[in-house]
Amino acid sequence: MEWRGHVYDIDVDECSVNTSICRHGSTCANIEGSFMCDCSSGFAGDSCETDINECLSAPCLNNGTCNNTIGSFNCVCAQTYTGKNCEKEPSASTGPFV
Ligand SMILES: [Ca+2]
């Protein structure tokens, strides 16, 4: 009888063989016959190789303009709104920020 295909009784620790198999600082976990990457925030994919385009979910409020970046995103706020998502309205005590 001839065996073809996968041999499941020999598990390779991909995490040790290739320490950069999980990209962008994600955590590698060896599992039986394969591996898994626990992606850092902002990344997706089997090896966390894909940047998530957060702008697709329109995270910038108050007419802010979204710029997707590798691993994150930033908002260019309209008028004098501030905050990561332009969620903060200008107020006399804290603004305006330049
Ligand atoms: Ca991104």
Structure tokens at 54: 């957060």
| pLDDT value, residue 90 | 82
- DSSP symbols for 10-75: S---HHHH-TTSS-TTPEEEEETTEEEEEPPTTEESTTS-EEP-GGGG----TTPEEEEETTEEEE
Please indicate whether residue 34 or residue 10 has the higher confidence score (pLDDT): 34
Mean pLDDT within 66-83: 96
Q: What percent of the chain has pLDDT over 70?
A: 84
Please give the distance, rounded to the nearest whole angstrom, from the Cα atom of residue 48 to the centre of ligand 1: 12
Residue 86 per-residue DSSP state:
S
3-state secondary structure of 88: strand
Region 34-63: mean pLDDT is: 97
The pLDDT of residue 97 is 55
Q: How confident is the model at residue 51 (pLDDT cuts 50, 70, 90)?
A: very high
Q: How far is the CA of 92 from the centre of ligand 1 (A)?
A: 33
Q: Is the pLDDT of residue 2 over 90?
A: no
Distance of CA 41 from the midpoint of ligand 1 (Å) = 9
CA dist 70 and 37 (Å) reads 18
